[in-house]
């Protein structure tokens, strides 16, 4: 593991390029960080939120220029990834293995990690306020708070009901609750998963969940069913998921599209009952997983960084807010053109933003970026599928390049699916190390 010592030259140009992933960033910064202190002075960056976006940005700011003082404010002591959460629901990964600490960021990379909650700010002074009473001054602020739920759009339930009806769309405890409910359910029961309308965090995530819950049921409660009440008429990697569902789970999964009765009208959490809009059909189920509609994390809204869509508009070259100067918004909270709201995308935003900030401190221009995203999903433990894309900055937006990327082939053989499942697990280890290692 490399230490926080770019200034003594131990981070070679090649290694940083390998680690960076966002092409050309290092070159854009004007070469190695040796002597960076004289160029940038002692600039202060505060990063809000220690998920894939914020933690990556904090780490790479220090890699790109160790003279920059970086403080990461995160309300939790540890981070539980949502990626891999569905594997835990299926029973082939422990929740603790999805937990990451910030100690490498502190010890290896010299990021100051403050466990606290950002409650407000003074934009003019360049200062954020923390729940613990402290305030932190910054030259640049990076906000990566993830998502918040639009509870007002789910009639009949709110955050207080998530013990009964977990969303399991933020890492940690919510997954534990959902898994306990699956374990407690009798064979022959029905699990309903209710995915929201676009845009939302991780477009293939609900369907990986459906697949892996079906896997668990097939092994332990084979007379049970999974009912998918979807707000949409189509979804990410649909053909591939449906092919895998038929192959692995027969008729265990029933998917109801929005236009045919999938849209939720009301939830009765105590009774685990869902009333849908088309003809107000009633579904009383044994385990109910409502994934509510979403918007940018609360602090982004409270700081005035969102627009009418509920998400944060940014200059998609630098992720600088178009509403507030000197503030960058990254990860799920940002409007990022064609890029999906994924951990891999947030990780890319983090690196790109680190490069943009260091470039700005040094008085350099940020070149037009090129970004990537791959979303792997498991349909079964040994059955993986993926979608990959490359994004270029065009007409002021990050646009997916048509000739680059693609999805896994349909009707591939079991060896191909097994290899993709292995890539999926390899991807997890690699990205977790890139963010937190």
Q: Using CB under 6 A as the criterion, which residues of the chain lie in contact with ligand FAD when the complex forms?
A: 48-54, 73-76, 79, 82-83, 85-86, 117-118, 144-146, 169, 201-202, 205, 209, 297, 299, 331-332, 341-344, 346, 375-376
CB 141 within 8 A of CB 328: yes
Residue 375 CB neighbours (<10 A): 25
Strands 314-315 and 320-321: antiparallel
Cα(91)–Cα(114) distance, integer angstroms: 33
Residue placing its CB nearer to ligand FAD in the complex, 68 or 333: 333
| Contacts for 125 with CB less than 8 Å, ≥ 6 apart | 137
Residue placing its CB nearer to ligand FAD in the complex, 23 or 388: 388
Token pair for 101: 């600490």
Residue placing its CB nearer to ligand FAD in the complex, 33 or 47: 47
Smallest gap from Cβ 388 to ligand FAD, in A, equals 11
Residue placing its CB nearer to ligand FAD in the complex, 149 or 344: 344
Residue placing its CB nearer to ligand FAD in the complex, 53 or 310: 53
Beta strands (DSSP E) in 4-57 are 44-48
Smallest gap from Cβ 353 to ligand FAD, in A, equals 11
CA neighbor of 34 nearest in space, from 9, 68, 1: 9
User: What is the enclosing helix (H) or strand (E) of 192?
Assistant: strand 190-194
Residue placing its CB nearer to ligand FAD in the complex, 96 or 413: 96
If 0-12 CB within 10 Å is exposed, 13-18 middle and 19+ buried, where does residue 52 land? buried
Smallest gap from Cβ 48 to ligand FAD, in A, equals 5
Residue placing its CB nearer to ligand FAD in the complex, 33 or 82: 82
Smallest gap from Cβ 12 to ligand FAD, in A, equals 28
Residue placing its CB nearer to ligand FAD in the complex, 274 or 432: 432
Token pair for 432: 């977790």
Cα(53)–Cα(431) distance, integer angstroms: 12
Residue placing its CB nearer to ligand FAD in the complex, 74 or 268: 74
Cα(178)–Cα(168) distance, integer angstroms: 7
Token pair for 154: 């789910």
Residue placing its CB nearer to ligand FAD in the complex, 128 or 227: 128
Token pair for 179: 């898994």
Smallest gap from Cβ 285 to ligand FAD, in A, equals 19
Smallest gap from Cβ 203 to ligand FAD, in A, equals 9
Q: Is the peptide bond before 199 cis (omega within 30 degrees of 0)?
A: yes
Smallest gap from Cβ 348 to ligand FAD, in A, equals 10
CA contacts within 13 A on the Cβ side of 110: 19
CB 55 within 8 A of CB 350: yes
Distances (CA, A) of 294 to 75, 152, 165, 288, 341: 20, 11, 17, 18, 11
Token pair for 211: 């697949």
Cα(52)–Cα(27) distance, integer angstroms: 24
Cα(112)–Cα(102) distance, integer angstroms: 10
Smallest gap from Cβ 27 to ligand FAD, in A, equals 26
Smallest gap from Cβ 243 to ligand FAD, in A, equals 19
Smallest gap from Cβ 414 to ligand FAD, in A, equals 21
């Amino acid at each position: 593991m490399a230490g926080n010592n770019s200034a003594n030259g131990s981070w070679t140009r090649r290694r940083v390029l390998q680690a960076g992933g966002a092409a050309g960033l290092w070159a854009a910064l004007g070469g190695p960080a040796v002597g960076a202190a004289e160029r940038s002075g002692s600039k202060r960056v505060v990063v809000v939120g220690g998920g894939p976006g914020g933690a990556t940005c904090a780490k790479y700011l220090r890699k790109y220029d160790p003279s920059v003082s970086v403080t990461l404010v995160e309300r939790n002591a540890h981070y539980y990834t949502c990626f891999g959460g569905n594997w835990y629901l299926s029973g082939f990964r422990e929740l603790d293995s999805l937990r990451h600490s910030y100690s490498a960021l502190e010890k290896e990379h010299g990021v100051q990690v403050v466990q606290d909650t950002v409650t407000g700010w003074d934009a003019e002074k360049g200062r954020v306020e923390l729940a613990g009473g402290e305030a932190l001054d910054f030259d640049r602020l990076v906000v990566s708070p993830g998502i918040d739920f639009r509870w007002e759009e789910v009639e009949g339930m709110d955050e207080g009901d998530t013990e009964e009806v977990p969303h399991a769309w933020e890492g940690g405890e919510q997954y534990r609750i959902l898994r306990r409910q699956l374990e407690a359910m009798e064979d022959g029961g029905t699990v309903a998963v209710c995915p929201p309308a676009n845009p939302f965090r991780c477009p293939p995530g609900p369907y990986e969940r459906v697949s892996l819950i079906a896997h668990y049921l097939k092994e332990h409660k084979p007379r049970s069913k999974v009912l998918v009440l979807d707000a949409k008429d189509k979804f990410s990697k649909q053909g591939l998921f449906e092919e895998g569902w038929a192959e692995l789970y027969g008729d265990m999964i029933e998917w109801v599209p929005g236009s045919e009765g999938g849209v939720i009208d009301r939830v009765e959490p105590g009774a685990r009952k869902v009333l849908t809009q088309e003809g107000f059909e009633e579904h009383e189920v044994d385990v109910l997983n409502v994934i509510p509609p979403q918007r940018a994390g609360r602090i982004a809204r409270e700081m005035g960084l969102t627009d009418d869509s509920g998400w944060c508009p940014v200059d998609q070259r630098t992720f600088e807010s178009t509403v507030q100067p000197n503030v960058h918004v990254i990860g799920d909270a940002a409007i990022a053109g064609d890029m999906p709201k994924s951990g891999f995308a947030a990780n890319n935003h983090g690196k790109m933003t680190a490069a943009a900030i260091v470039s700005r401190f040094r008085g350099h221009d940020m070149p037009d970026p090129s970004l990537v995203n791959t979303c792997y999903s498991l349909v079964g433990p040994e059955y993986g599928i993926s979608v990959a894309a490359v994004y270029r900055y065009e007409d002021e937006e990050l646009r997916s390049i048509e000739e680059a990327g693609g999805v896994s082939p349909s009707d591939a053989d079991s060896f191909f699916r097994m290899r993709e499942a292995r890539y999926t697990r390899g991807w997890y280890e690699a990205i977790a190390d890139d963010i937190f290692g």
